[in-house]
Amino acid sequence: MKSVIKGTGYILVHTPDMVLHNGTTQTTERIVNPDGEYLKELPKHIRTYEEALSYWPNQVYIGNKTPQELAAVEQPWYDKTCDMNDRFGRFGQIMPQEEFILLMQACDVFELIYLDKDFVAAHKGELAANPLIDETIMARINEGVDKAEVERLVKEEHSEGLYNKGVLVGAVNRAHDIDTNLSAHVMLENIVSKASSVLSLLAAVHNAGIAKSEVEYVVDCCEEACGDMNQRGGGNFAKAAAEIAGLTGATGSDCRGFCAGPSHAIVEAAALVAAGAYKTVVVTAGGCTAKLGMNGKDHVKKGMPILEDCLGGFAVVITQNDGVNPEINLDILGRHTVGTGSAPQAVISSLVTDPLDRAGLKVTDVDKFSPEMQNPDITKPAGAGDVPLANYKMIAALSVKRGDIQRADMMKFIAEHGMTGWAPTQGHIPSGVPCLGFVRDNMLKGNIHRVMVIGKGSLFLGRMTNLFDGVSFMVEANDGKKEEAGVSEDAVKSLIAKAMKDFANTLLAQEEKK
């Protein structure tokens, strides 16, 4: 049985103050070069919420604009205003920092977050007006404390400050006096990831048109890790986020694979549904504070705004084949194995051409490829180039080598089978999966038939191995055949008939021997 993509959710959270106080590029600079020009200049390059809303790639991410429309806009994009600046999009929303800080407290179940009561009073109504936030979540937000207490916690208790427009409005406390895994810094990172995952889950379940009670399993694939000194990364973001999102019938677990994590998680989720273990599984991931302003030095140096000022999140609802929604074809999987190596050609071969060969398909049989979909507006000024384009050039080169296309048609192939990158550089967020909302829409309209999603990851970052990683899977238009988990009634009747016939033949053989 095949699994299908029932719905998707894509959210951004504009967090300018977290860029200044929580992004690792900035926190590291504050240690090694506190009086440097970068930290002095940085505040002048922070975008307003309105500017983040009118940024082309952000509007593409939440589904108000398409990758095709973005490709028609001349780069760079940061100096152009999108004609669409809606907060809410087809796939999700762009949440302002004020609301998100309150959502963080709603996700805090150990009373670690203390907010200034004046801040809570000023913005609680704004979060309550969000169509995805219900009374259960709002009930988790307390009235707050005096500003003096927040200031004391940051000054005397090693708490991490929460800032809004440069003003201290809250604090995240450490969860243990000596356990570094439960430090205030780690707790802030983890609660941010959890809260943005909750918002993604709510968006995806809403967009899929299903009841929260239908979700039976959640897989989280973010790049954080929760645990304590005895099990540093053993925690469960999936179930923690499902609790706040109100998915009371769900259990879940985490899947980690650096940037390749989302592709691994979707393959696992699709397999769980196809096997009949669960009817509805949601893959989710929240954002990462560490990567806010990651390329900020290069952006400031070139007189650009800080473009990495948004947390990213996504969720994908995977269900049993309904005969309508796009199918995840588990027969066509690409794998970067231990023996593949890290040469670019070997990587792309293992993830793209090898699975196509096994399926008897040409590269041109795939309508679109979705590799690492980083926004080139961010990566090019930092010297990393246009990451999606580099992937497409390698796929095109292999296509020429295989004889699927002519060398003269390489750029045409890239234009027809590629997409312009639009996703924030949030590590795992850009890795293949940002396309799934558009893929689902276009397959339901009959515009495309087959899309390959390619996730790649850098396992060497953990200093446990020098290996690279990657996995790919194929999404195909539904063939219209609805399937149910388990064995059909006709199949059961057939099995019974066969068993009875075999039994009769056995008895007849025994009689003949007599």
- Give kind and range of the element (H or E) at residue 12: strand 3-14
How many Å apart are CA 404 and CA 386, to the nearest integer? Answer: 24
pLDDT score for 503: 60
Q: Give the domain extent around 456.
A: 327-476
Do 367 and 472 lie in a common domain? yes
Q: Specify if 357 maps to a domain.
A: yes
How do residues 357-379 score in pLDDT, each as one tens digit? 999 999 999 999 999 999 999 99
Q: How confident is the model at residue 497 (pLDDT cuts 50, 70, 90)?
A: low
Q: Specify if 370 maps to a domain.
A: yes
Q: Specify if 81 maps to a domain.
A: no
pLDDT score for 1: 75
HEC string of 69-131?
HHHCCCCCCCCCCCCCCCCECCCEEEECHHHHHHHHHHCCCCCCEEEEHHHHHHHHHHHHCCC
How many Å apart are CA 207 and CA 317, to the nearest integer? Answer: 9
Do 504 and 459 lie in a common domain? no
Do 499 and 460 lie in a common domain? no
Strand ranges, E, within 412-503: 450-457, 469-476
How do residues 81-92 score in pLDDT, each as one tens digit? 999 999 999 999
Check whether 40 has a pLDDT greater than 60.
yes
pLDDT score for 169: 98
pLDDT score for 487: 46
Do 468 and 503 lie in a common domain? no
How many Å apart are CA 505 and CA 95, to the nearest integer? Answer: 69
Nearest in space to 238 (alpha carbons), one of 275, 182, 193, 289:
193
Do 500 and 468 lie in a common domain? no
pLDDT score for 490: 54
Q: Specify if 496 maps to a domain.
A: yes
Do 354 and 438 lie in a common domain? yes
pLDDT score for 181: 96
pLDDT score for 494: 60
Question: Angle at which helices 184-208 and 97-106 pack, to 10 degrees?
Answer: 100
Residues 274-296, mean pLDDT to the nearest whole number: 98
Q: Is 215 helix (H, G, I), strand (E, B) or coil?
A: coil
Do 395 and 418 lie in a common domain? yes
User: Tokens standing for 379?
Assistant: 């990566």
How do residues 42-76 score in pLDDT, each as one tens digit? 999 999 999 999 999 999 999 999 999 999 999 99
How do residues 426-453 score in pLDDT, each as one tens digit? 999 999 999 999 999 999 999 999 999 9
- Concatenated DSSP letters of 277-330: S-SEEEEEE---GGGTTTTHHHHHHTT------EEEEEEEEEEE--SSSPEEEE
Q: How confident is the model at residue 482 (pLDDT cuts 50, 70, 90)?
A: confident
Q: Specify if 395 maps to a domain.
A: yes
Lowest mean pLDDT among 227-236, 451-460, 482-491: 482-491
Check whether 356 has a pLDDT greater than 90.
yes
User: Tokens standing for 456?
Assistant: 């790649």
Residues 181-193, mean pLDDT to the nearest whole number: 98
How many Å apart are CA 142 and CA 205, to the nearest integer? Answer: 26
- Concatenated DSSP letters of 382-407: TT---HHHHHHHHHHHHHHHHTSS-G
**What are all long-range contacts of 230-237, with beta carbons under 8 Å and residues at least 24 apart?**
232/181, 237/190, 237/193, 237/194, 237/197, 237/286
Do 348 and 419 lie in a common domain? yes
Q: How confident is the model at residue 504 (pLDDT cuts 50, 70, 90)?
A: low
The answer to whether 453 touches 475, Cβ cutoff 8 Å, is: yes
Do 418 and 493 lie in a common domain? no
How many Å apart are CA 276 and CA 510, to the nearest integer? Answer: 39
The answer to whether 472 touches 351, Cβ cutoff 8 Å, is: yes
Beta-carbon contacts of residue 239 (< 8 Å; ≥ 6 apart): 218, 250, 251, 252, 253
The answer to whether 70 touches 78, Cβ cutoff 8 Å, is: no
User: Tokens standing for 490?
Assistant: 């006709």
Taking the CA atoms of residue 284, residue 313, residue 60 and residue 334 in that order, the dihedral angle to the nearest 10 degrees is -50
Check whether 502 has a pLDDT greater than 80.
no
Do 405 and 509 lie in a common domain? no
Tell me the chain's radius of gyration from C-alpha atoms. Answer: 25
pLDDT score for 481: 82
Looking at the chain, the whole-number percentage of residues with pLDDT higher than 70 is 94
Beta bridge partners of 476: 327, 450
How do residues 298-339 score in pLDDT, each as one tens digit? 999 999 999 999 999 999 999 999 999 999 999 999 999 999
Q: Is 3 helix (H, G, I), strand (E, B) or coil?
A: strand
Q: Specify if 337 maps to a domain.
A: yes
User: Tokens standing for 72?
Assistant: 């028609």
Q: The whole model's pTM is what?
A: 0.93
Q: How confident is the model at residue 32 (pLDDT cuts 50, 70, 90)?
A: very high
Q: Specify if 454 maps to a domain.
A: yes
Residues 248-276, mean pLDDT to the nearest whole number: 97
Do 510 and 469 lie in a common domain? no
How many Å apart are CA 27 and CA 20, to the nearest integer? Answer: 8
CATH code of 347's domain: 3.40.47
| Start-to-end C-alpha separation, the chain | 46
pLDDT score for 495: 53
Check whether 513 has a pLDDT greater than 90.
no
**What mean pLDDT is reported for the chain?**
95
How many Å apart are CA 104 and CA 82, to the nearest integer? Answer: 30
Check whether 489 has a pLDDT greater than 60.
no
Element counts in the chain: helices (H) and strands (E) = 21, 13
Q: Specify if 510 maps to a domain.
A: yes
Number of domains in the chain: 2
Do 406 and 442 lie in a common domain? yes
Check whether 281 has a pLDDT greater than 80.
yes
How many Å apart are CA 260 and CA 268, to the nearest integer? Answer: 13
